[in-house]
Structure 1
């Protein structure tokens, strides 16, 4: 009798243990399933040069490296937070408005820029940043990154059309980080184009002559010729480009060439600021003989989330600003300032003060 009771008790204990083990096994499976759901399934995207890139879920992209400077502005515009940026080009930070830098990138002093020489990466130093994704523009920026176990997304396009590229990088950035298109940059461009088109249809057929300086060091002047982003800005804002007889960007010219072109309005992307042109203080360069100098129409390109001479997250503002300078009787500086403030509050949730507006529109482009 006692043996039967012992046997029954042992059976009960065994059954109880089996239930516990089964429960643990079930919990283990659930935990594994939960971990998998957190990781998300791998997905593929196609970058702007046509490469298929495999990415994890956006939530897994914890450490982001951005080598191409304009892409930082697009990232900020969409993500609204730079905590996950572990590396970028120093140019991206230097070409942001210094008053806004700490607002847009509060961790700017912690972001590594030393892994780059120009736009080429020191692969060993880059991998120390433990990147989950690297964003580049073109083959030069991909040197040394071909065989690393990190996805590299290329944002290069051949045509240099500001609207086209700024919209495409916005769309691809949204795809990478799995964002919707409710407030895409395309929508901002559509609004800007409506305003610009209305003004340009009202102007005379006699077009003003424009010139965009790529850089002026005092010893060397380079301009933005046909097919460049600068050429696109001038043409889309209702001007002819006096440098269009030259093809390409960053083309060295002489002062004599510029005087023969005699531009009505001059925009300066980089280098010595407009104040030095207008004060006649650039040794060996006499800008006083140009119509632009005589009319006081030599301007630095604004610097907001980035230098507006480059296609970026502020680009719909750039085309409107150009038109306001080309045709001030059609769009006043006060009207444009209102547009700028509304854009920044809508896109970046920043209320610009009048001083901030002036720092954007009247920078010293000495970079």
Structure 2
């Protein structure tokens, strides 16, 4: 039994929040109670809220009425167990709510992971139902807990995007333009493209003036362009556009500047979530939402179940170690600090070099 603290977010107005406490959270038959001692907080969590209804992110950890629990990537320890295969003391990494505790229902248990078999989660994308049992994993992963919470899910998406582009021969593109390249998923993708010796495609990053120096220090872009200066991008080259910003104004500007030479336009993130909306009819490839589980499912059929995410995990570790000197981890404790950071993310006021780690445990 535990006294649980959670932060709930209004699903219609993300700036409205509510701190909720439960004094008697306990695990039932076949379940485990997990104390969540650390989770990462990034613009990716805003994307989860923004697409919560469409993809089902609000449904993983249901709340009451108009409220929702934004999922985060976290580490936690089992403090109560009624599951014979997952004992007290087990260390876990996976998809959790913004909370101090939660209850999981382990099933399909393997040495290195299990699936949450709660009935309400079975119709949702399965990749978010997997929980890693970290004590069974290589030392390189167990030593990177903070990076795993803060960076791995984003860099894993970077790898899936990179694989998607490679799988489609980069759509014939001569340059890849990444919107909001200072986002972790953005510079992760740039890093993977830049380090691939078999790719000669130009990598162009678009970012704010305040993040230009950060992106240049990463050394993963051939060209860095500020918002509003998209005309500096070579419009004569066939271009794959990967947008992490969700800013429809940027999408329109690039499509109108590059025109029919835009051969792929993938919408991934929403770091500029309030700039969203319908793009309308534009020249070039039609902007489409990129759904990472679709590419993962394709590769699982081709390579075998789990192979794609294993590759993504190792790529994430490599990117995290390569860029660790460019990020400063900041620790936040308690619901008030979490709420303040959430509001900053919504206002796009968290600099690219900041890595926010949060704990709601007393």
The TM-score with structure 2 as length reference comes to 0.30
Q: Which has the larger radius of gyration?
A: 1
**Higher relative contact order (Cα pairs below 8 Å, separated by 6+ residues):** 2
* Higher helix proportion (structure 1 or 2): 1
* Higher strand proportion (structure 1 or 2): 2
